[in-house]
Amino acid sequence: MKLPAAMALLLALISAAAQAADFDAAQTRRILGHGPWPPAESADRSNRLSGNRDAVRLGAMLFGEPRLSGNGAISCQTCHRPDHGWSEAKARSEGLRLQDRNAPGLLNVRLQRWFGWDGANDSLWAAGIRPILKDSEMGGSAAATAKLLREDAPLACLAQRVAPDYATGDDEAVLVLAAKALAAFQETINSPRTPFDEFRDALAANDRAGMARYPEAAQRGLALFTGRGQCGMCHTGANFSNGEFHDTGLVFFLNDPDRKPGTPRRADPGRHGGIAQLKANRFNLLGRYNDDASGQASIPARHVEQQHRNWGEFKVPSLRNLTATAPYMHNGSKPSLRDVILHYSDLDEDRLHSDGEAILKPLKLAEGEIADLQAFLESLSVPNDTAARYENLRREAAACR
């Protein structure tokens, strides 16, 4: 028995060495760039409640609070479902009316620099204000939010803990307080380490046995991702997103079922519209509610300008925990990971400007390569306990007296 076991170990080490050899120096560098995970945590300097434990509890309570909406029936978690990667299975979300876009997942949302598919917000807390106030989403108001925080016992208890004089502030200030607490909570929705992270760290440590534990199909998919696919050009870093906006050749006409015959179709302006909204938003980081006295946090909002290419661009999403957040793309037009891969495999170059997204070329993947790429993407997902932790936070919050 001992000899076969030793042989098996030897074979495994040789196999690991062969697999490692599949990654050249440049690819190895790129792979290492997708970690370590989790990244170091840092507070959001624009939000004085960032990292505040009571604010996290208050935010968790508010996240599931339907009384924030105009009809008392819609909360944040209606579309950002904890059991669905903090997204939902619908292609396009339904608030008070059908939305134009898919609800983005919120796992690791603290790592983003722009918020929403169009980056219309430059802080997580301002991104929480938009759905509360928007007529077609939750249809709430500053007045109703302030009333709720002043009158509901557990909410008032927590709000008083994080901002003792909040009740004397005007309604808008209380709305911002609620949004900052919501952001403080969302900053805690983080995904755990994945099989990819174990492989990446084994590669960093030249731990061949550790590398060998990563499935071969995922390794081949990773080679495609960091090599011919050039996927890592936009899906960069530990969170697999450069946080910016690109046109990947998707159709961005709005699928508007209520459109009357003979009336023009509408296009989703994407990032172009997002920048316009950002500039016009009094809750942006150039406004009075930014808690960052250094001015650092507001630099992007100060300098971002609309460009022609922004028309129809959407944010590069993170690839972590993708398996939980189908359907995909800004409009939920791709039901499965395979559909997403096929989009890039059969990319319609005519939909891209010839001087625009120069790295995007049809990958023309073979069936095996599609499976490998999918295996790699799936290796970025593991079950997580964020839904359970959310429920715990809500229980703790409800006990505040």
Partner 1 sequence: MIRRTLLAIALLAATAPVRAQQSPADVIPLIDAHVHYSHDAWDYLPTQEAIAILRRSSLRKVLVSSSSDDGTQKLFEAAPDLIVPELRPYRRRGELSSWVRDDSIITHMEARLAKYRYVGIGEFHLYGADADLPVPKRMVALAKQHRLFLHAHSDAAAVQRLFVHDPNAIVLWAHSGFDRPDAVRDMLKRYPNLWADLAFRSDHASSGKVDPEWRKLFEEFPERFMVGTDTFTPERWHYIEEHAKWSRAWLADLPRALAEKIAYRNAEALFARTGYGYKVPPLN
Q: Which residue has the tokens 């995909």?
A: 328
Q: Which of 35, 128, 221, 269 binds partner 1 (CB under 8 A)?
A: 269
Q: Binding to partner 1 by residue 266, rule CB under 8 A?
A: yes
Rounded CA gap, 35 and 275, in Å? 30
Cβ at position 390, least distance to partner 1 in Å: 38
158-162, long-range: CB < 8 A, 24+ apart:
158/54, 158/55, 158/57, 158/58, 158/61, 158/397, 158/400, 159/58, 161/54, 161/400, 162/49, 162/52, 162/54, 162/55, 162/58
Q: Binding to partner 1 by residue 311, rule CB under 8 A?
A: yes
| Site map 354..373 versus partner 1, x via CB under 8 A | xx------------------
The window from 76-84, 313-321, 343-351, 392-400 that contacts partner 1 (CB under 8 A) reads 343-351
Q: Binding to partner 1 by residue 260, rule CB under 8 A?
A: no
Is the CB of 308 or the CB of 401 nearer to partner 1?
A: 308
The window from 79-87, 299-307, 339-347, 381-389 that contacts partner 1 (CB under 8 A) reads 299-307
Please spell the DSSP secondary structure of 180-206, one letter per residue.
HHHHHHHTT------HHHHHHHHHHTT
Q: Binding to partner 1 by residue 305, rule CB under 8 A?
A: yes
Q: Binding to partner 1 by residue 267, rule CB under 8 A?
A: yes
The helix/strand/coil state of 162 is helix
Rounded CA gap, 394 and 125, in Å? 19
The window from 132-140, 205-213, 224-232, 258-266 that contacts partner 1 (CB under 8 A) reads 258-266
98 φ/ψ angles, rounded to the nearest 5 degrees: -65, 130
Q: Which residue has the tokens 């292609």?
A: 91
Residues contacting partner 1: total by CB under 8 A: 23
- Pair 214, 167: CB distance under 8 Å: no
Cβ at position 353, least distance to partner 1 in Å: 5
What percent of the residues of the chain are helix, what percent strand, and what percent coil, each to the nearest 5?
45, 5, 50
Q: Which of 42, 71, 296, 307 binds partner 1 (CB under 8 A)?
A: 307
Q: Which of 134, 150, 351, 389 binds partner 1 (CB under 8 A)?
A: 351
Q: Which of 288, 308, 385, 401 binds partner 1 (CB under 8 A)?
A: 308
- Pair 20, 211: CB distance under 8 Å: yes
Residues near partner 1, by CB under 8 A:
251-253, 264-269, 272, 305-309, 311-312, 349-351, 353-355
